[in-house]
Structure 1
Amino acid sequence: MNQLRWSPNILIKDNAVDSFWKEHFAEEGRKLLFVLGKGFDVRMNFALSRLLNVRPDINLECILIEFDEGKTSSSLDYNPLVTENMEEFEKIMESRPIQVKKIKMKNKSGKRGRIVGDRNAADLIKSHSEIEDFTDIIVDISSLPRGIYFSLTGKILKLIDQNQQNQQNLFLTVAENVKIDSQIQETDLEEDLTYLYGFGGQIELEAEKEQPLIWFPILGEDKSAHIKKGADKIMEDKTRLHEICPVLPFPSKDPRRSDALLIEYHNLLFDSLDIEPQNIMYTTERDPFQTYIQLSDAVANYRESLKVLNGCKFALSTFSSKLISIGTLLVAYENPEFVGILNINSGGYQILDESEIKNLKQESELFVTWLTGSPYHQQSPKNSN
């Protein structure tokens, strides 16, 4: 197996983040671009406030991504939370420069519009010249939808890799809180499933459809509808061999979480989808790089086993935490010829208890994944197309 790009790697966990920021941004000449999403999630400003609390003197510019989900989106019901977040954001930023960039999520209004948010996210930064003056870039995915941060991060990685003399530091940050995640439920799932822009894995090319398709859905709570839609998409071509390998989070903060998920989805997985128990995989809940390594190993093993069938393709879907999803992003980015991201989009969200998510905010833990820059500059990027 070839050496993985992000092995070894650097993950900074909650208690160590503040001291890391304080030391890292003490170096003279650093200039930071901080990217985050405008939204109702109470964790929107969590990472930014932690950073500016320890480094109030930092040379920082911000890109604030604003989403247009259409006039019928259920997310509009939570505009008061957005207003609260924006008041906090403006207070934190004071007079620092802010660029507001708007993303249209559908190509027309209404529930039947075609999803274009991922493509528009990739176009937010069109060339490396737009980011070349920054020594550091932080993309905070805490309040960004999957489709947006996958395509945006993929684009930034690609631009940095193409400029191989550049040693820019790229970080992804996320305020992890499984309890808050469980309170925010996706609604109005889109009927037409697509592979994310920039992460197609060449899966739907006509010339590639004779290859078997392996699907790794990473499971989280209350995602039966997502799993069913994903499975229907994987199995829609009856002539194509396919296999489904559900991935459970273990070890996890709640040691019984994977058992609870198996109970929740038992009928769906083993009766409806007829999945063999040996196809169940596990990946650690709190280290995206380990998810990346474990999935990369599984991909490599399948490719070796299926050489006789002229290889195979892989689809990854994340129905679990954003922390785990970073690992799937890295696998797909490193293997663009045969690994794609199958995303199940939602038309809106429902919060079960607004007061509860506010109370849970301070229990969130901040994770920083370091993807490019000084620790890796002696390595040659494997994806620079």
Structure 2
Amino acid sequence: MTEESGVGGVQTTLHWLESGLAERGWQVTRLPVRQGRPSLWACWQAARRAQVLVASNNFRPAYAAVALAWLARRPSVVWVHGPLHEVLQQAGTSRLKIGWLRTVYQRASQLVCASQTSYDSLLRVMAGARCAAPQNLSVIRNPAVLPGAGQDDAAMPATEVMALGFVGRLSPEKQPLQLLPMLRLLPAACQLHVVGDGELMGAMRSAGQDLLAQGRLHLHGQQTVSAQTYRAWRATVLCSRYEGYPMTALESLACGVPCVSTPIPAMQEMLGTQAPLWLARDDSPAALAQAVQRCLAQAPAERQAAIDLLQQQHRLEAFVQAWDQVLTRLLQRRGKGLKQGPKQGPRQGHVAVQTDASRDDTSSGGRS
């Protein structure tokens, strides 16, 4: 069940999951539950044809997937991307709504979290409720992948300009305004390219007038992000208040470009062991500027070694294999067993993700 449309981190990971599962013999069908949603009868019929229902996020798609799975007597999987506890706190969610979410998650056959950070946050939400059994909770980290990332591009021409990049929504939780004082604290040779749009675009233009006039700040708006986008930068910068396991950072790493970030739990999880120098000591612009300078001053061989290890830890093949194992176990529980050779038809996996372009997945830069 899906609700994502356009661009965004959830949409990106969903694409990689669908294509990867298809290569492993799964037949994946998207069932939208918001825009273009079929009739309830058609949804129920689709659920009956499927062997397992997957919700692409833990809100509206989860409600639909769990309900349809119950009616059709099929297993359901809810994909938890962001740190739910922090998201609900930021939104001022009522106790009634939190109680409803707990009920939905308790009835899912499996909850898959995009990071240990998301897993821990989910447990905080479920505290005090009859939580799902531990075997029904798992972590499958997002992959570091981007089309063209593995190709060797021509070397960038020598230049004194040190280009930095930011990709994402210009929204309060992404804290893009923090980038402006950070940039002012960096050497004049540093320039910042912001790819994305959102409610804070006007504030970025207003607060960054001096940097725009100096040619140090470039606000590109929403545009397609490619390997070339990242490779034009010396580093990608994140300054979010919270994240689940950001695809912006993973895509940057896939392209061989380091990612500097505020020390939020998700980025500590991603970088803390292999690249601690890229983490700011706190969430202030000054600390972020210092982390950028540490990254830029790092020996190229040391920086590349960290990137190589991070790429290895976030392989697409491992991501797809982990999902395949989760879905196969659910089929085994139902007594359907594993696919036996080419004579048996493809496994039916209906990914039902509700699309809501106004919420979680609307990334102005192509990623959330």
| Length-normalised TM-score, structure 1 | 0.30
Higher RCO structure (Cα 8 Å, ≥6 apart): 2
| Length-normalised TM-score, structure 2 | 0.31
Report which of the two structures shows the higher radius of gyration computed on alpha carbons. Answer: 2
Identify, as 1 or 2, the structure richer in strand.
1
Identify, as 1 or 2, the structure richer in helix.
2
